[in-house]
Structure 1
Amino acid sequence: MPFNIWCGGCNSMIAKGVRFNAEKKQVGNYYSTKIWSFTMKSPCCKQEIVIQTDPKNTEYVIISGAQKKTEDYDVEDAETLLLPADEERDKLADPMYKLEHQEEDLKKKKEAEPVLVRLQRLSDSRHSDDYALNRALRDRLRSQKKRVDEEKKSARKMGLGVRLLPPSAEDATAAASVKFASKFEKSRRDKRAAIKAASIFPESSSSTSKNKVDLALKRRNIKAGAASALMAGRVKPSSWQSTSSGSSRTRMPALATRK
């Protein structure tokens, strides 16, 4: 698209430079120059747009399907020169008007001459010696390639597959601001994790009572075994009495006196 247009179907803007698959055909001649017509469809709503060339005014004309977007720019903001209009060009044929116009141009030239001279001198100083500029550029490229090779070698020594950038003050500041967790912090986190993983309900009293009952039954079995051994004549009464009056540490003294 040679300029910005408004689509006639959905009123959306089609930007300048958008490419289309258009049907091209000749619709006339302007002297020996052919007038071409381009028929295309809008990408937003499939509206048919027809544009023709205008060799007389050296521009494109929208025939149907769209409307050209008019854009006005300020000459100072765009940093461009304002071309004279057609009426001004016709007036330049008048000798008196041409003389006045030339005086204004000479006045503008004198005002801008110091700036132009300064810019010309700066350009000459920069581009006067082509050999020196080319040599400085090649030296810069060599030093850059050498630095890149050194960075790649250092990265390979560290076992890295990417090239490390040179250190900077920002990286040093960011690395100094990082705080690693100490052993105290680690143990505190472990304790908290253990507390969170433990059950919130206490141990049941039934398991405790069960352990006591089992211990009592074991003691009764030991005493019954000692009594039966005494009745069979295998254990002396003194040893049985000492066993019954002894502490809970000597659980089976009768078994030690077996023959």
Structure 2
Amino acid sequence: MFKLEHGTDDQNYAENAKTALVNLYNRNESTWADDYSANCMLRQAFRKNKNDFKTSIAKDNALLKKSSLNIKLVPEAEEDKQLAAVLSLKLKPKLDAEKTTELIRKNIISESSLPCTSFTPAKERKAIKVLNNNDLKKLVLINKPTQAKKIKLTPSLVGDYGNSTSESE
């Protein structure tokens, strides 16, 4: 009874697997139909792998010789590359004085001295343009001399009360 119940399940599974097996067999036959070209492709792939392996070993040996280390190197990972990039950015030489002052200026301009949100990027660009322009006359407000009132000095100790507008006179 068990054989009858499970025998049909096995036959159904075999029928489903038969199509997949036929497809795999046909693909394998089409790939390996021409022995010469298949052999050439395999040999070319093996040669490429062998050359890549030799170059990586040569690079590793050069690095070990340069650093005078006697350790076994592991293959490079993507995380290692990212970490090395971050570390190399931190170890860059300092910028020259002009670039440093320019960066400080731009930072000062971009940050608001008072807590407000009205400083727009357009205003920032305008301020940077003014700062980059070496014409300092635009930055400094030039006051025009105003005509000073002529004050008549009197030798009196009390002062000059003759110009008052009081009605008692």
- Tell me the TM-score range normalised by the shorter chain: 0.3 to 0.5
Q: Which has the higher strand share?
A: 1
State the structure with more CA Rg. 1
| TM-score relative to the length of structure 1 | 0.23
Q: Which has the higher helix share?
A: 2
Greater relative CO (CA pairs within 8 A, separation 6+)? 1
